[in-house]
Amino acid sequence: MENTDQIVKGAVGSVNDAAGVIWDAASRLIIEYAFSVIGALLILVIGFIVAGIVRHWVYTALKRLRNSDETLNLFIAKGARYTVLILVFVMVLTQFGVQTASIIAALGAAGLAIGLALQGTLQNIAAGIMLLFLRPFQVGDYVETSNAKGVVKEIGLFATEFETLDGLYLLAPNSDVWGSTVTNFSRKPKRRFDLVVGIAYKDDIDKAFAAFEALARDHDKVLADPEPFIYVSNLGDSAVEVTCRVWIATPDWWTTSRDLIRLAKQRFDAEGLSIPFPQRDVHLYEVTA
């Protein structure tokens, strides 16, 4: 019985000794890393505040620039914020004795893995950055690519949003837009319009020229510079094609070009000039036996 009591007392003493050793070690660790933890928390709090301030400052500064693009402003401002946060993260790890070289190596390995996994997405991001910086088009322009056409609604980091002329929503990946030929119908201040009308071979060409000259002169949306140019463009099977080449301000191009077609028909009718439809002459020959 006495041996049992001694064994129990010995075990309890061993446990107490072990607990004391653990507590002493924990106390030393707490004391040793307390300042590191407090410093890391302060760096995190201050870092997040500074990141927000930097984002706001960069966005405000870009907003004051003339002809600045809203999407590009937001992208650069967010990039500045994330750059500050990455520096804060590195500083926090340095507080705990992690070597900077190890941090850079880890970030490089993580970036490589993410890049391989998201290769297609990164292509869209790179294309989006190129679109934002080179700006072949901007919001509100009507553009046409090999894969999409419509009015640009938003240039995103991954895709570009369009609205087609019939009111449909179209989303095109930036890599497809950047990798194709882009025709911007809204970029230049004026556009050319060739109005072609065919008249009968028996009609007076000079009268057709005079009708076109009056039409271009009387329409207030037709530009005087460059001045209208009228010429015979083709001798067709059924008609003599007369072309009136005019220049129109880009915002007025669509409505004005349609209006000119209507007015040309009315003026040619008033001048007695016919607009023939395709004709074919059939000759019959009598065959004698």
CATH number for the domain harbouring residue 249: 3.30.70.100
Which is it for the CA torsion 57, 59, 63, 67, positive or negative?
positive
Residues across the chain:
289
pLDDT tens figures, 110-157? 666 665 555 567 788 888 888 888 889 988 899 999 888 999 998 877
Residue 30 resides in a domain: yes
Which phi and psi angles does 232 have, rounded to 5°? Answer: -85, 115
Q: Hunting for tokens 């129109």 — which residue is that?
A: 248
Residue 277 resides in a domain: no
- CA distances 154 to 123, 129, 211, Å, are 18, 13, 44
Same structural domain, 199 and 142: no
Same structural domain, 164 and 204: no
Distant-in-sequence, close-in-space partners of 115: CB < 8 Å, separation ≥ 6: 122
Residue 256 contacts residue 222 (beta carbons within 8 Å)? yes
Structure tokens at 143: 């553009």
Return mean pLDDT, the chain.
82
Residue 261 resides in a domain: yes
pLDDT tens figures, 263-281? 999 999 999 998 887 767 7
Same structural domain, 175 and 195: no
Residue 235 resides in a domain: yes
Residue 283 resides in a domain: no
Q: How far apart are the first and last CA of the chain?
A: 149
Same structural domain, 8 and 112: yes
Q: How far apart (Å, rounded) are the C-alpha atoms in residues 39 and 8?
A: 46
Task: Provide the CATH number for the domain around residue 47.
Answer: 1.10.287.1260
Structure tokens at 232: 């015979």
Same structural domain, 40 and 98: yes
Residue 275 resides in a domain: no
Task: Provide the CATH number for the domain around residue 163.
Answer: 2.30.30.60
Which phi and psi angles does 82 have, rounded to 5°? Answer: -70, -30
Q: What is the structure's pLDDT at 132?
A: 80
- Counting as low any pLDDT under 70, the low residues of the chain are 1-36, 67-72, 95-107, 109-120, 279, 289
Residue 228 contacts residue 245 (beta carbons within 8 Å)? yes
Q: What is the structure's pLDDT at 31?
A: 61
- For residue 213, the enclosing domain spans 190-270
| Count: domains in the chain | 3
Same structural domain, 249 and 203: yes
